[in-house]
Amino acid sequence: MLNYIFKRMLSAIPFMFLVSLTVFILIQLPPGDFVDSYAALVASSGETLTPDQMVELRHRFGLDQPLIVQYFHWIWGVMRGDFGYSFEWQSPVKDLVGERIGLTLILSLSAMLFTWALSLPIGIYSAVRRYSFGDYFFTFVGFIGLAVPNFLLALVLMFTASKYFHLDVTGLFSSEFENAPWSLDRAIDLGKHLIIPMIIMGAASAAGLIRILRANLIDQLYMPYVVTARSKGLTETKLLLKYPVRIALNPFVSSIGWILPSLVSGAVITSIVLNLQTVGPMLYQSLMSQDIYLSGTILLVVCALTVVGTLISDILLVILDPRIRLEQ
């Protein structure tokens, strides 16, 4: 096990290097740069940047240097813990991304736990009581969950909470706690505001996992080892939880690796609608303004967390299912 973890960590180093290079090149592919985006923004307000001013800004931000020079300047700083300076926010990238990455992780874990808590019992029930009224009902609700976009569900819940309960469910903090230092009251306020985003972002994932768990469990329920265990007098509940459910849980554990990138990339519109202080809206804005160091850092950190999440899911799969061997 330790040998496998060590090898995976070593292989992650060249992988992250290639990812950083690919990310940096892709960010630079659109025509123009941050200065052009800034000049267009200034022009929309009725002012104009002179060519000399644009040249001076490019020199100030280092955008007049070749692409490969800009990349190695950035990646060398990343290796030393300096992620660069945000052109748009006029602030160190590390300070901008730090808290938002933490809030994104909290939201991701909350949505994942909600997904598991919802899909596990429903998936087991649908498999054991297949073709029953409950199975058809949960299948119908699951298809609705897959079909309805998250941002539309967010709008419906926002309208319902505002009109009938007089609650503001946007953001992750109340106005008095938004810029306050961390305390117990701020953590409680965060927990209250996590409920709506957790339900919205976990609904589609739960609907998909219910179908996967149901199909896997139905396949396992008629395996010879289940029939043998039942013939030996093992109770149905103990038999179900000890053998088939344990093997059918593999998709749940595998979801650890992709839950974070899916929330960042797939829920950007939802985060904007709900005004969430996560990295999704910041990544979208930085890509639109071609803020290369900020957007590159966010993508690099998300990729690193994905690599770690995949490693954790692989290790948990071995613990959960003895048929899997990491050494192979």
Instruction: Tell me how crowded residue 185 is: count the other CB atoms within 10 A of its CB.
Output: 12
The per-residue pLDDT for 137 is 92
Cα–Cα distances (Å) from 294 to 199, 251, 264, 322, in that order, read: 29, 33, 15, 42
Residue 184, pLDDT > 70, answer yes
User: What are the tens digits of pLDDT across the range 96-113?
Assistant: 888 788 888 888 888 888
Region 274-281 average pLDDT: 85
Quote the radius of gyration of the chain (alpha carbons, Å): 24
Same domain, 45 and 163: no
| 183 located within any domain | yes
Same domain, 181 and 65: no
| 310 located within any domain | no
Same domain, 124 and 67: no
Same domain, 187 and 113: yes
Structure tokens that stand for 129 in this block: 């009581």
Structure tokens that stand for 99 in this block: 């808290």
The per-residue pLDDT for 195 is 85
Same domain, 241 and 180: yes
Residue 326, pLDDT > 60, answer no
| CA pair distance 199, 206, nearest whole angstrom | 10
231 exposure class (CB count in 10 Å sphere: 0-12, 13-18, 19+): exposed
- Could you tell me the pTM of the whole model? 0.81
User: What are the tens digits of pLDDT across the range 124-181?
Assistant: 899 888 889 998 998 888 888 788 888 888 888 888 888 887 777 788 888 888 878 8
For CA atoms 146, 206, 324, 8, give the dihedral sign: positive
Same domain, 118 and 240: yes
Same domain, 114 and 261: yes
Region 89-100 average pLDDT: 84
| 291 located within any domain | no
Provide, rounded to the nearest whole percent, the portion of the chain with pLDDT above 70.
94
Residue 259, pLDDT > 70, answer no
| 144 located within any domain | yes
| 100 located within any domain | no
| 233 located within any domain | yes
Same domain, 262 and 168: yes
Number of structural domains found in the chain: 2
- For 20-29, 150-159, 166-175, 285-294, which range has the lowest pLDDT when averaged over its residues? 166-175
Same domain, 256 and 122: yes
On whether the CB atoms of residues 248 and 213 are closer than 8 A, the answer is yes
The per-residue pLDDT for 213 is 86
Domain span at residue 206 reads 108-277
Q: What is the mean pLDDT of the chain?
A: 83
Same domain, 72 and 8: yes
Q: Which of 5-19, 29-43, 118-132, 198-212 has the highest mean pLDDT?
A: 118-132
| 245 located within any domain | yes
On whether the CB atoms of residues 126 and 214 are closer than 8 A, the answer is yes
On whether the CB atoms of residues 85 and 101 are closer than 8 A, the answer is no
| 328 located within any domain | no
Same domain, 51 and 159: no
pLDDT tier at 325, thresholds 50, 70, 90: low
Return the bridge partners of 86, or none.
91
Q: Nearest 5°: CA angle at 279, between 145 and 146? A: 10
On whether the CB atoms of residues 146 and 208 are closer than 8 A, the answer is yes
**Domain stop point among 81, 116, 138:** 81
User: What are the tens digits of pLDDT across the range 202-244?
Assistant: 887 788 888 888 888 888 888 888 888 888 877 778 888 777 8
Same domain, 29 and 114: no
254 exposure class (CB count in 10 Å sphere: 0-12, 13-18, 19+): middle
Residue 21, pLDDT > 60, answer yes
Q: Where are the alpha helices (DSSP H) in the chain?
A: 2-28, 34-44, 51-61, 67-79, 93-128, 133-147, 150-164, 184-221, 224-231, 236-242, 244-248, 250-254, 256-266, 268-274, 279-289, 292-320
Q: What is the CATH number of the domain that holds 197?
A: 1.10.3720
